[in-house]
Amino acid sequence: MLVNDKKNIVIVGSSGHAKVIIDIAEKEGRYRVVGLLDKFKTIHDEVMGCRILGNEEDMPKLVEKHQIQGVFVALGDNFIRSNIVSKVKEITPSIEFVSIIHPSASVATSAKIKEGSVVMPGVSINPMSQVGSFCILNTNSSLDHDSSMLDFSSLAPNAVTGGNCQIGEYSAVGIGATLTQGVQIGSHSVIGAGSVVLNDIASFVVAYGSPAKVVRQRKKGDKYL
């Protein structure tokens, strides 16, 4: 184990989302961020004191040079994040994808969080809930008891669910939206900011309002941020 028992990790991305990840990683204390990967930035540029080391293609040589033990993909768009995760897995198949949890988050002992997910400040994850791989639970969001987020889904700041809800793969629940008890959201769907969802929402749609209604269809990978 390295000095102070911290794992060396690298973060893919250098945007605002990456800044939040850097801050949480520092506060959590389990990881040492040795640098960032971003093909749109110049090597040796800095973001919050972390240097740009290169891009995903450079991972094999960087792993050895910096004794990198883990990686976190810090991209807010669910679909783009999945593409980069696939690329990193292809280039460095043995690398560990870490999850990062802010110390102020309340995570039930019976809750499960899979690889590559982030739990931000003030988040509540209640008993028997399941967070899939590469999910985002943004600031002050809440996943209530017996609920689940499938892989690459996200809760925006102050978004909350009732108990026994499910958010499908790649779906995004907008800022301040509320899912009432037992609501199911399909895959690749978007719930607009401030919406109140009283009934199930199908896959591949955009829904918003109070109560939320489907306003249009969307395609896999359509922009929403």
> Are 181 and 198 members of one domain?
yes
> Are 85 and 173 members of one domain?
no
Q: How many domains does the chain divide into?
A: 2
- The answer to whether the CB of 69 falls within 8 A of the CB of 215 is no
Phi, psi for residue 18 in degrees, rounded to 5: -65, -35
Last residue of a domain, one of 77, 97, 117: 97
Whether the pLDDT of residue 86 is over 70: the answer is yes
What is the token pair recorded at 22? 């850097």
What is the token pair recorded at 8? 């060396």
> Are 106 and 199 members of one domain?
yes
Please choose, from the candidates 151, 156, 205, the residue with its C-alpha nearest in 3D space to the C-alpha of residue 179. 156
Mean pLDDT of 50-54: 97
Domain residue limits at 59: 3-97
pLDDT in the model for residue 4: 61
- Percent residues over pLDDT 90 in the chain: 96
> Are 117 and 73 members of one domain?
no
Last residue of a domain, one of 97, 119, 144: 97
> Are 138 and 179 members of one domain?
yes
Whether the pLDDT of residue 1 is over 50: the answer is no
Asked whether the whole model's pTM tops 0.85, one would answer: yes
Last residue of a domain, one of 97, 118, 150: 97
What are 118-149's pLDDT values in tens digits?
999 999 999 999 999 999 999 999 999 999 99
- The answer to whether the CB of 197 falls within 8 A of the CB of 180 is yes
> Are 36 and 133 members of one domain?
no
Would residue 218 count as lying in a domain? no
Would residue 60 count as lying in a domain? yes
pLDDT in the model for residue 5: 82
pLDDT in the model for residue 3: 47
Would residue 225 count as lying in a domain? no
> Are 59 and 114 members of one domain?
no
Whether the pLDDT of residue 155 is over 60: the answer is yes
- Percent residues over pLDDT 70 in the chain: 98
Domain CATH for 72: 3.40.50.20
What are 2-34's pLDDT values in tens digits?
446 899 999 999 999 999 999 999 999 999 999
3-state DSSP helix/strand/coil % of the chain, to nearest 5: 20, 30, 50
Domain CATH for 183: 2.160.10.10
Would residue 105 count as lying in a domain? yes
Mean pLDDT of the chain: 96
> Are 82 and 109 members of one domain?
no
Distance CA 98, CA 73 (A): 9
What are 187-224's pLDDT values in tens digits?
999 999 999 999 999 999 999 999 999 999 999 999 98
